[in-house]
Amino acid sequence: MSLFSRIQITTLAYALAIILGLFAFGFAGVAAYIALNDYFEPQLAALLTAIAYLLLALLILAVAKILNRPAEKASLRYREGQTSGSQQADELQMILEKLSDPVLADLIKKHPGKSLATTLAAGVIFGYSQEARTIVKSAFKQYFDET
């Protein structure tokens, strides 16, 4: 089975699981309302069910906020790395200026889909592989440093 087929099947499975999970929460709310309706008036049972859903939503948001809280060390590293980040941005701007070629721009305009796919593949490869980043960085330094 190809990678694309596996991705399609996995995406479909997750989509169906999410839809069924939403139905399950909906029916749980209806079941809670019916159960509370035996003990309270219908308006109060509906209000209690809505409050329970609201508290569950707030609990989920609180847990997500706690899990996504940045660590102290990460913020210190970020502040220290801001100067090197601006240097990297300057280097990237110089490289892009050297690469701005009308032939390349025409090629991208003629084949936007292939250009997008190539860029996406390169981003995945360079984002995943430290070795690929090192090779490309050394090649750029070798060919584009005119000092």
Token output for 63: 């847990």
Q: Inform me whether the pLDDT recorded for 80 exceeds 60.
A: no
The more confident residue out of 76 and 86 is: 86
d(CA 83, CA 85): 5
- What 33-40 contacts at long range (C-beta under 8 Å, 24+ apart), as own/partner pairs, is none
Q: What band does 85 get if pLDDT is binned at 50, 70 and 90? A: low
The rounded Cα 74 to chain-centroid distance in angstroms is 19
What is the tens place of the pLDDT at every residue in 107-138? 777 887 888 888 888 888 888 888 888 888 88
Which of 85 and 14 is assigned the larger pLDDT?
14
Higher local confidence (pLDDT), 12 or 109:
12
Six-digit token string for 67? 């899990």
Task: Kindly report whether the global pTM for this prediction surpasses the value 0.75.
Answer: no
